[in-house]
Chain A
Amino acid sequence: MIILFGVFLLTLLVITALAIVQTESLFAAVILTGIFSLLMAANFFLLDAADVALTEAAIGAGISTVLFLGALALTGERERGKSTNRLIALGVVTVTTLIVIYATFDKPRHGDAEAPVHQHVGPWYLEKTPELIDIPNSVTAVLGSFRGYDTLGEVFVVFTAGIGVLFLLSARSAARPESANPSAEPGQGLRHYLVPRVVGRLLIPFVFLFGLYVQFHGDYGPGGGFQAGAIIAAAVILYALLEGEGQALRALPMDVLKWLVAGGALLYGAVGVAGMLLGGNFLDYNVLASDPIAGQHIGIILIELGVGITVTGVLLCVFHAFAARGKL
């Protein structure tokens, strides 16, 4: 039964993807991308990946749509040019699809517990998590502790991308010097639309609360810094959409956001260095407390906090960078 539901969702995914490529209105394409992400999240959930589903729903369906729309507002929402070399592209794509599909016949059966992917470190993580880290969510255990180096790297990639967007979009455009007066358009948001505004305002505190829950409950259930960062950023973006961007900047000024971007990554690094100062290796949490398991718990909570802070900061900085560009 579940597999039939999966097949249904997968078919919808393909249809949505075709529609995204087909449509000439970029606005429609972006909205369809939101639907695509939501369907993808449902698929991840069916495939037992609760943490990933949460991330995809918050990021793909929420933040990514807003960012694309922000970019569309600056670049125009219709595609004008015709496809180039359509036939060659179709040919390449069809042949490659057939080759990949041919290759799938050699893949292990879906859900096979004997598949090579389940013979390597995966089972070891599952076996050792209760003994070495003692938290129920083994995804968080692998993310925060066993593969803490990877996650540190990912946080720095997010950090770098955020800095990159700020560099790109804070440069003054050569074509349009600072001529527009900033006070002309204060950014009204949805102030004149009563229903979305009232409902949205009611939602925001609960979205925040849920974000904090996801952040600090990540050891026990699906969640963690990446998801929480996206959810909290989404709450602030919702506030900005309802009340105008200026209002959101007054609540969380750009200077604070920049500190958040750097602070989260630094907190993560500092936990690693603290481990070294206490006589362990870099990112070795065992030495953070007298009991190794308690040390692991402290370490994971702290680095997840660092991840959450950086992700919130970067996503909001990027959002404000696009929004501010529109006013120039």
Chain B
Amino acid sequence: MELLGLYYYWVFAVLLMIGFYAVIAKPNLIKKLIGLSIFQAAVFLLYITMGKVEGGTAPIFQDGVTVYSNPLPQVLILTAIVVGISTTALGLGIVVRIKEEYGSIEEHDIQKRDRR
């Protein structure tokens, strides 16, 4: 049981680093943004995991329930998800403009053109 509980945190670590790998190793800018959103999702998972209380239920009051999970991480992450999509959209906008100006969204091509 103890180890099964830790599994949530291990998945957090693995997802975080899968996303990070895509950001640092993949030359394609869209792939980097996808990696960034996996990274972001991993952080969301960490927060929500920490807010869980054993035997609790969603923090919506109802009769006959005494244990509720912590609402605070949920509030933070709920807004973070919407902010995340807005900033991702901004990133995609920049990628589209880069494609138009450089004719490519591969890191190598862009750096090559910049050096010229």
A residues whose Cβ falls under 8 Å from a Cβ of B: 3-4, 6-7, 10-11, 13-14, 17-18, 20-21, 26, 29-30, 33, 36-37, 40, 43-44, 47-52, 55-56, 59-60, 63-64, 67-68, 70-72, 74-76, 79-86, 89-90, 92-94, 96-97, 100-101, 104-105, 107, 109-113, 115, 117-118, 120-123, 125-126, 129-130, 136-139, 141-143, 147, 150-151, 154, 157-158, 161-162, 164-165, 168-169, 171, 173-176, 220-222, 224, 226, 229-230, 311, 314-315, 318, 321-322, 325
Contact A17 B61 (CB under 8 A): no
Minimum CB–CB distance from B54 to chain A (whole Å) comes to: 3
Contact B81 A60 (CB under 8 A): yes
Can you list 19 pairs linking A and B with CB atoms under 8 Å apart?
Answer: A6-B8, A7-B4, A21-B26, A33-B38, A51-B78, A79-B27, A83-B26, A96-B20, A97-B17, A109-B2, A110-B52, A126-B71, A139-B74, A139-B75, A142-B72, A164-B90, A165-B89, A222-B60, A226-B82
Minimum CB–CB distance from A127 to chain B (whole Å) comes to: 10
Contact A122 B88 (CB under 8 A): no
Contact A158 B86 (CB under 8 A): yes
A174 to B99 CA separation, bound complex (whole angstroms)? 12
The 7 closest A-B pairs by CB, nearest first: A110-B5, A111-B54, A161-B86, A81-B27, A89-B25, A100-B13, A104-B9
Determine the chain A residues whose CB is within 8 A of the CB of B7 once the complex forms. 6-7, 10
Contacting residues of chain B (1-37) with chain A, CB-CB under 8 angstroms: 1-2, 4-22, 24-31, 33-35, 37
Closest to A321 in B: B93
A59 to B31 CA separation, bound complex (whole angstroms)? 19
Q: Count B interface residues, CB 8 Å.
A: 90
Interface class of chain B by DSSP: helix
Known: A30-B34, A107-B6, A143-B78. A47 touches B52 (CB 8 A): yes
Determine the chain B residues whose CB is within 8 A of the CB of A311 once the complex forms. 82
Partner among A72, A173, A222 whose Cβ is within 8 Å of the Cβ of B100:
A173
Closest to A84 in B: B27
Contact B41 A75 (CB under 8 A): no
